[in-house]
Amino acid sequence: MTNVLTQPRPIRLKGRSFLAMALSPEFPFEDWLVRLDDLASRSTGFFMRRPVVLDVSGLDIERSELRELIDKLSARNVRIMGIEGARPSLLGADMPPAMADGRPTSDIEAPSEDEVRESKTSKKAAVAAPAAPAPKAMPSMLVTEPVRSGQSIVFTEGDVTVVGSVASGAEIIAGGSIHIYGALRGRAMAGTMGNASARIFCRKLEAELVAIDGYYKTAEDLEPGLRGKAVQLWLEGDTFKVGTLA
């Protein structure tokens, strides 16, 4: 009885997912790092305390080059929590761990007409196909108070609506669109799970940075005539579009 009572409690292991930013470096690395420095300089604290996954998929890179790149990112306070798309021979005990199966999007591709036809033929039954279920409404988050400097609102499942303003130094991260009924002075990143059709709406544009599906613009990139205006932002291909709201 004593032995049973004094046995140590078992360690509990839990699965949990976290949001991380993925960086995809390009050759030549020196030029890519210059562009990264430009982004960081125009949006103070963009990488601060933010976990980052380094995606080297498709890059013909040597281990020494990868090690050097990680060191240069570390010197810029970019914390690499893992590496995706790297050959096992590139990684070691002194490197961030391998990452796999990152979920870029929750979209499901509908089957083609040929696939549907083949499926019906294989069943060999003359039964009426059941009605397709109604599509699920995208979940959303409603923030009823202003978002203060230093706050980070993260909701990757869908849209985020902020009734008040978003202060400088604050950020909104959404898997869908972002709606701000006050001033946007901080950072707004929409479509973070691969949703290029997401949009950003705000009553007063004074943003430090806006991003949709990984494409971004800093305050210096935005047209001066749009500052302080009610606008919407969206993507057409890889081009940022901005329009005023009536």
Of residues 184 and 45, more confidence is placed in 184
Res. 147: pLDDT tops 80: yes
pLDDT tier, 135 (very low <50, low <70, confident <90, very high otherwise): low
> Which range, of 13-27, 58-72, 149-163, 230-244, averages the lowest pLDDT?
13-27
Looking at the chain, the whole-number percentage of residues with pLDDT higher than 70 is: 79
Give the β-pairing of 159-162 and 200-205. Answer: unpaired
DSSP secondary structure, the chain, as one string: -HHHHHSPPPPP--------EEE---SSHHHHHHHHHHHHHHSTTTTTT-EEEEE-TT----HHHHHHHHHHHHHTT-EEEEEES--GGG--TTSPPEE---------PPPPHHHHHHHHHHHT---PPPPPPPPPPPPEEEE-S-B-TT-EEEETTSEEEESS-B-TT-EEEESS-EEEEEEE-SEEEE-TTT-TT--EEEEEE--SEEEETTEEEEGGGS-GGGTTS-EEEEEETTEEEEEE--
Q: Is the pTM of this model over 0.75?
A: no
Domains and CATH numbers, the chain: 21-99 (3.30.70.260), 140-244 (2.160.20.70)
Res. 109: pLDDT tops 50: no
Looking at the chain, the whole-number percentage of residues with pLDDT higher than 90 is: 50
pLDDT tier, 116 (very low <50, low <70, confident <90, very high otherwise): very low
**Which residue, among 206, 207, 203, 201, has the nearest Cα to 234 in the 3D structure?**
201
* Structure confidence by residue, pLDDT tens digits, 199-240: 999 999 999 999 999 898 998 888 889 999 999 999 998 889
User: Cis link prior to 25 (omega < 30° from 0)?
Assistant: no
- Residue 28: the pLDDT is 94
pLDDT tier, 129 (very low <50, low <70, confident <90, very high otherwise): very low
Burial class (CB in 10 A: 0-12, 13-18, 19+), 184: buried
Other CB atoms within 10 Å distance of the CB of residue 167: 18
* Structure confidence by residue, pLDDT tens digits, 149-194: 989 898 989 999 999 999 999 999 999 999 999 999 999 999 988 8
CB 53 within 8 A of CB 86: no
